[in-house]
Structure 1
Amino acid sequence: MPLKPFKTIGIGVAFSPNLKANLYEAARLSLYFEAKLVMIHIGEQSEEKLNKLKLILSAFNKDNLEYEVVFKSGNPVDAILSTAKEKSFDLLIIGAAKRENFVKYYVGSIARKITRQAKCSLLLLINPSIERLPCRHIVVNGLEDPRTEQTIASAFYVASKLNAEQLTIVEEIKQNQIDIKVDDDKSLRHANIIKARISNRETSRINHIIEELPKEHTNNIVIKSQPIFGTQGYSIGHYAQIKRADLLVMNAPTKMTFWDRLFPHDIEHILTELPTDVLIIQ
């Protein structure tokens, strides 16, 4: 993993009530990651809009925040994705929508299309704040997948930059790996032995990944490993929710097919109901 995985951060800008909170979150992250911030507005350019953005970000002048504003017209999904490509975004920040009358967040249709098509990493924010809220606990997937090593490395990098206190690596293990019908004490013991073996194997695999990471990213944080048997995507989202994690870090989805959308799995479970802020590593 490069020393600075997020050199350019992008965010779509709408002049909505959440504008200041969204920009404060994006600006803080840009400073933590020593990155340039690129704001994309779908609409006509005007001095009034530029001055409003400049006024909000003036709070970060003392920190020498580097930023740029891009004005685009046309389809929001196409405009944001094309800008992400032109400006070589490493990270794109997207705000989640809140369900009416519920304390639940989800990814709207435009954001979901961007999430499925973006070639860069994505940060889905459920509750942007003007005042910085500490990021104490990060949960990251530990799936047995070629992309997982990069995802775990990114999670530790983010944890070190945000001064997180704990990072939990969750290994979601499919129930069919046990493949035993439990109908008496003997079969239950056998199933538990297999579960323990799988858990030990997974923990050993994860420990090997951690050993290869830069020590400055792993030294000052409590590291936990948690095997979970269940449905991928849903299980880790539920775990992050009940543990009140501040950030969930996941592998980017593989190429979606029609059947993937019809029968959601992995990241689709997360997008349907966000348990917390979600960082998707591309």
Structure 2
Amino acid sequence: MYKKILVAVDGSANSRRAAEHAAYLASLTPGAVVNVLYILEYDRTRSDVLYNAKSDDLHIDRKNKLVPIEEAFAQRNVTYELIIKHGEPGPTIVIFANSNDFDLVIVGSRGLNSFQEMVLGSVSHKVAKRVTAPVLIVK
């Protein structure tokens, strides 16, 4: 089945569901490994530090977002590696996925309506369109 899985997460409810599904699929295949990719958007992080919070508070908030995601893998005894990258989510996920030969890439859907998706685009749509591996979008 799938031995090398990438799941992109941002701490949202949809990405937690994506992580839970990745853990489930990996638990079905002995020796499967999941790479959990979390993207730090430089512009958003910088504006948060400047206007809203201290850097330490943001680090704690980020860790708190990742706890339930890591627990999903621990509960199923699935081997995973947390990878943190800086950049714009869509292109960063695509570059990482295409350069690491994954069997499956899993992303959560943010649930944009058709107009929002047409105007803004969505990370899941960009990933599905540009990643060479099969992509599973979890709602």
Question: Secondary structure at 1:233's aligned position in 2?
Answer: helix
> In the aligned structure 2, how far is the partner of 1:201 from the partner of 1:225?
16
Query: 1:175: Cα distance to partner?
Result: 1.9
Q: Contact (CA 8 Å) 2:2, 2:25: kept in 1 or not?
A: no
When you count helix as a share of all residues, which structure comes out higher? 2
Q: Indicate yes or no: 2:36 matched with 1:179.
A: no
**1:156 equivalent among 16, 23, 41:** 23
Going from structure 1 to structure 2, the CA distance change for 1:248 and 1:197 (only over 3 Å counts) comes to farther
Contact 1:174 1:229 in 2 (8 A): yes
| Structure 2 residue 98 is the aligned partner of structure 1 residue 241 | yes
Identity %, equivalent residues = 14
Alignment of 1:166 onto 2:33: yes
What amino acid is the match of 1:246?
D
Give the structure, 1 or 2, with the largest relative contact order (CA under 8 Å, sep 6 or more). Answer: 2
Residue correspondences, number: 132
RMSD over equivalenced CA pairs, Å: 2.7
Contact kept, 8 Å, 1:166 with 1:223, in 2: the verdict is yes
Partner residue in 2 for 1:16: none
Please report how far the alpha carbon of residue 211 of structure 1 lies from its aligned counterpart in structure 2 after TM superposition: 2.6
Residues 177-211 of structure 1: CA deviation (Å, up to 9, x unaligned): 3327xxxxxxxxxxxxx5x9856753453234323
Equivalent residues of 2:94, 2:127 under 8 A apart: yes
Give the residue type in structure 2 aligned to 1:258.
F
Give structure 1 stretches of 5+ with no counterpart. Answer: 1-133, 181-193
* Distance change >3 Å, CA 198–CA 168, structure 1 → 2: farther
Taking the TM superposition and a 5 Å limit, the aligned residue runs for 1:118-267 are 134-179=1-46, 194=55, 201-211=61-71, 215=75, 217=76, 219=77, 221-267=78-124
**Secondary structure, aligned partner of 2:38:** strand
Read off the aligned partner of 1:278 and give its amino acid letter: V
Give CA deviations for 1:122-164 in whole Å, capped at 9, x if unaligned. xxxxxxxxxxxx5221111221212222211111000111335
Does the aligned pair in 2 maintain the 1:171–1:202 contact within 8 Å? no
Q: 1:227 to 1:146 in 2, by over 3 A?
A: same
- Distance, in Å, in 1 between the alignment partners of 2:72 and 2:23 is 12
Structure 2 Cα separation of the partners of residues 267 and 276 of structure 1:
14
Gaps of 5+ in 2: 48-54
TM-score (structure 1 length as normaliser): 0.41
Check the 8 A contact 2:73/2:80 in 1, yes or no.
no
CA drift of 1:257 comes to 3.6
SS of the residue aligned with 1:162?
Answer: coil
Would you identify which runs of 4 or more consecutive aligned residues in structure 1 move more than 4 Å? 196-201
Pick the structure with greater CA Rg: 1
